[in-house]
Structure 1
């Protein structure tokens, strides 16, 4: 029997009009692929659990929906992880998602991993501390001109610093890099970490 959490009904009802059919589609697809799934609200957004472990989750924002599996790349390595939460980038319509058949396969793959007791890769290894991230020349130059941004970056943990530095470094085009650099300075000036948008969802 399909069990639905009324809090998720309310979440979907309050979401932007474009997001509602996407959220309903995802919800139905997860239930169809995993009849034993249970719904819950975690970090203020809908999540699905299977055998007492998180399976996947979804969230609606002003201009996009995000969907992802708890075990991330172990389930779906799409290369879109840096575009939004989850593994499918910024979803603005149902067509942005994998086909129903592929989505079903991914949910079932996640189920198998849960059944096997697989945990998040980041939790299975004792993480070695990474060396401090090296600030690229163009960011260093921009920081010289903006003391507030520099102070924010200096006060950040190594992981928060690295998120910005790697985001800038991953840009494939000069125009994209320049855009990310400008966005970095703006957000640092406001005291924001790289993924601030997702912290209060």
Structure 2
């Protein structure tokens, strides 16, 4: 795994030294280093604890169950307000933002929470199939059969992809795009799942 994490850090253009520093802190803790979602992630007994990543304007840590952390120092933020319940980010913009002792405190609390079974479970939203997609499914038995064979998450991805479009023309073009994918039993985001 080390070579994948090393490669991830090496390909960064802005934050190499900062990521190396974060990595050294995390490797000094009772965590296992891995790569998930294309970025370094650190686990305890197979459970996700904290990841690190670099972006254009910042780098930082994200805590899988960060909403359960005390965050007395106000370091954590919800990256997608209204979408994520448990995940919290600790954003940094310079080496000076890396407080080694405080990071250790937060990570050790996250490990302790995980070991004590504290977790925010994802809330499953109901599957709502938009009329446009439902009409396509009703008029094509092969399409309907292939769609029904998908997991709930794949079905939801396709339904959301159509319903999230604002304009009718966009909804129609999205439907045209996904029909062949469904017929081939390919999930909307499958190409990103094996990273």
**Aligning the two structures, in what range does the TM-score lie when normalised by the shorter sequence?**
0.5 to 0.7
1:29-68 alignment runs, 5 A limit: 30-31=22-23, 36=28, 40-42=33-35, 45-49=38-42, 54-57=49-52
Assess, with a 3 A threshold, how the Cα gap between structure 1 residues 152 and 167 changes in structure 2: closer, same or farther: same
RMSD: 4.8
| Residue-by-residue CA offset, 1:77-115 (whole Å, 9 max, x unaligned) | 223898xxx989xxxxxxxx863489858x949626514
Aligned to 2:6: 9
* Structure 2 unaligned spans of 5+: 55-59, 68-75
CA deviation map 1:42-95 (0-9, x unaligned): 458442327765311559xxxxxxx9735167354223898xxx989xxxxxxx
CA contact (8 A) 1:50 1:111 kept: no
Residues 79-158 of structure 1 aligned to structure 2 (within 5 Å): 79=80, 99-100=93-94, 108=103, 111=107, 113-118=109-114, 119-122=118-121, 133-144=127-138, 146-158=140-152
Preserved CA contact (<8 Å) 1:168 1:177:
yes
Q: Which residue of 2 aligns with 1:78?
A: 79
Instruction: Quote the offset at 1:183 in angstroms.
Output: 3.5
Q: Does the alignment pair 1:20 with 2:15?
A: no
Return the index of the structure with the highest Cα Rg: 2
Give the length in aligned residue pairs.
171
TM-score computed with the length of structure 1 as normaliser = 0.55
* TM-score normalised per structure 2: 0.56
